[in-house]
Chain A
Amino acid sequence: MNNAVDISPNSTDINVSLWLKFKSGDAVAFGELSQMHYRTLYNYATKFSSDSEFIRDCIQELYLELWERRTFLSETAFVKSYLLKALRHKLIKESVRLKRFKEPKELLFDADGSDLSIESRIIENEHLKHQIKRLNSIIARLSKRQQEIIYLRFYQNLENEDISHVMNLGRQSVSNLLYRTIKEIKEIWMPAEFFWVLLSILLY
């Protein structure tokens, strides 16, 4: 199992010389730029399709389009949220073309994490494992939209403004949805946490 995590920050500061090389048609520089958010994009796409080959084709196509238009591009083209949004479009377009979905206009965030197996080395603590399983089942019961916003906020670590861009929502809707979602999670999550503290006090 792969433990590599993408914690690349959302910063826009691409190395200037790399950028100039890319603009002048240096394919290796292009490869380096593409690599920066490759994992991020792949991970995001797996929430919409389980076909790894299809996903990798879509990402490839997305990047090649950037390559073709390189002389007209500004540096924002390689910003995480822009890429995520473009990939989302691409996935819809390609699915329609290959007739993968019956409902072409809609792309559902459908990450299936219901049978969570925790393999990470970092999680040794049994209590923590238990808590994670619990929280996971709470997230699983949220609506697709709520799950996506949790994913974008806490996995991809996007700001509200970037989320509104990716999900095509107004900024206010994003903060409302996020607020409501976190509140919903807390309502179930917190009492149990409290219960646990109580239990541990009684035990010791």
Chain B
Amino acid sequence: MIDYSKYTVEEFATDEHFRQWILDPSEETVVFWDNWIKQNPDKQSTINQAIELLLTVYERYKDDLTDEQVEQDISLLVELAEAQIGNSRLSIFINPLLKIAAVLVLISGLSWFFYSQNLRDKNVAMVNVEMITKTNHADNEMTVLLSDGSVATLMKGGSLRFPNKFEGESRKVYLKGEAFFDVAKNPAKPFLVFANETVTKVLGTSFLIKAVDTESTVMVVVKTGKVSVYPEKDYATLSEKNDREVAGVILSPNQQVVFNRKDSRLEKGIVENPDMLILSTTSQELVFDDQPVAEVLRTLGEMYGIEIVFDKETLAGCPISTIFKEETLKQRMNAICQAIGATYEVVDGQIIINSKGCLR
């Protein structure tokens, strides 16, 4: 047993058993310390100071990380770690015989995959999933809302094909041209962008893809979060074998990868011109000072060319003050909803605000 009778404030505050009593009390610690204080009444003031010191430091330095976020981050980490195993395993095939064997396996796997993929596609098509195609013919960017709350911003000439509802284990969309994606986080259901022989896989982040048919390269640039990019034919074998023995490239913010369509090669680099990640119309600074939230929503709706549906009466007299700079539509909607204690959902390309009136 430790003799606590000569302990100072600092020694108490850093003692593991004492800290447990204050920060995460169990019956055992409570009984022990209540007893101890009764037996050592002259140490009451020292104990009090240690408690105060500990609680002050904990109040002062607490953070707002939720258990869900930790869980999300860890599962993303595990996913990325698994993807990396694929990378390093490929380099094992130095032996030419192994190389040949690998190629054979790959070819047979591929052909089998395409065969079964065709079958599967047909099956999926029957389960009343409707594919929608949006093409941007205008000069301005076009905002496309997806059913999971993700937002795609199509540049001029860009075209996106996506299901009206995401069914199955992943969220697949098909891109031609250039688009900026802001993907809703859902580690359980990865978001896949197919664009000119590449597959970009994300779990929740924002990034830009440039896949113009007439150009010989495909470019992926990451703004926030992490994405992995694969040549499409490699990705096919990967999902089929339910393993990740494929060389993908993992990108972090402000990194980019260029895919050379001729020789199917991925080249990673740093973004030389980060400005390209800032969208022109949506990055103008917006200042709302004590404005009715209805007005703020109307402004945003006009700006993105989408309909934001809300009940005027419940939101009447909800003023908000905010400054928007480089946020994405999703971040802006989250900020507004948080401020007025509302939630929103995306239905048929519209944003619906659910609110029970203002918090205040």
Q: Which residues of A line the B interface, CB within 8 A?
A: 1-2, 4-5, 7, 9, 25, 27-28, 30-31, 34-35, 38-39, 42-43, 46-47, 52-54, 56-57, 59-61, 63-64, 67-68, 97-98, 111, 113, 116, 118, 120, 122-123, 128, 131-132, 135-136, 139, 150-151, 153-155, 157, 182, 189, 193, 197
Interface presence of B263 (CB below 8 A): no
Give Cα A198 to B19, complex, Å.
28
Can you report 24 residue pairs joining A to B where beta carbons are below 8 Å apart? A1-B62, A5-B23, A5-B62, A27-B79, A30-B77, A30-B81, A31-B75, A35-B70, A39-B70, A42-B70, A47-B61, A57-B225, A57-B226, A57-B253, A97-B254, A113-B59, A122-B55, A123-B59, A132-B52, A132-B55, A135-B53, A153-B14, A154-B57, A157-B14
Q: A5 touches which one: B58, B64, B67, B80 (CB < 8 A)?
A: B58
Q: B52 touches which one: A4, A38, A128, A151 (CB < 8 A)?
A: A128
Interface presence of B202 (CB below 8 A): no
Shortest distance from the beta carbon of A114 to any chain B beta carbon, whole Å: 9
Measured CB to CB, the nearest residue on chain B to A68 is B84
Measured CB to CB, the nearest residue on chain B to A28 is B78
Cβ–Cβ contact B77 & A135, under 8 A: no
Cβ–Cβ contact B77 & A5, under 8 A: no
In residues 1-49 of chain B, which contact A (Cβ within 8 Å)?
10, 13-14, 16, 19-20, 22-24, 45, 48-49
Measured CB to CB, the nearest residue on chain A to B85 is A25
Q: A34 touches which one: B53, B62, B74, B82 (CB < 8 A)?
A: B74
Interface presence of B224 (CB below 8 A): yes
Shortest distance from the beta carbon of A188 to any chain B beta carbon, whole Å: 13
Give Cα A193 to B49, complex, Å.
9
Interface presence of B354 (CB below 8 A): no
Shortest distance from the beta carbon of B242 to any chain A beta carbon, whole Å: 14
Give Cα A63 to B250, complex, Å.
14
Number of interface residues of B (CB under 8 A): 52
Shortest distance from the beta carbon of A105 to any chain B beta carbon, whole Å: 21
Q: Which residues of A contact B19 (CB under 8 A)?
A: 7, 157
List of 8 A-B pairs having minimum Cβ-Cβ separation, nearest first: A113-B60, A31-B78, A27-B81, A135-B56, A154-B57, A27-B82, A132-B56, A27-B78
Shortest distance from the beta carbon of A201 to any chain B beta carbon, whole Å: 13
Cβ–Cβ contact B59 & A120, under 8 A: yes
Q: Which residues of B contact A120 (CB under 8 A)?
A: 55, 58-59
Interface presence of B138 (CB below 8 A): no
Give Cα A97 to B57, complex, Å.
32
Shortest distance from the beta carbon of B73 to any chain A beta carbon, whole Å: 6
Give Cα A193 to B253, complex, Å.
50
Interface presence of B320 (CB below 8 A): no
Give Cα A137 to B273, complex, Å.
44
Give 4 A-B pairs besides A60-B73, A68-B84, A120-B59 with Cβ atoms closer than 8 angstroms: A2-B62, A28-B78, A30-B81, A113-B61
Q: Which residues of B contact A136 (CB under 8 A)?
A: 56, 59-60
Interface presence of B51 (CB below 8 A): yes
Q: Which residues of B contact A118 (CB under 8 A)?
A: 59
Interface presence of B252 (CB below 8 A): yes
Cβ–Cβ contact B80 & A60, under 8 A: yes
Give Cα A136 to B78, complex, Å.
39
Q: A59 touches which one: B48, B73, B250 (CB < 8 A)?
A: B73
Give Cα A63 to B57, complex, Å.
27
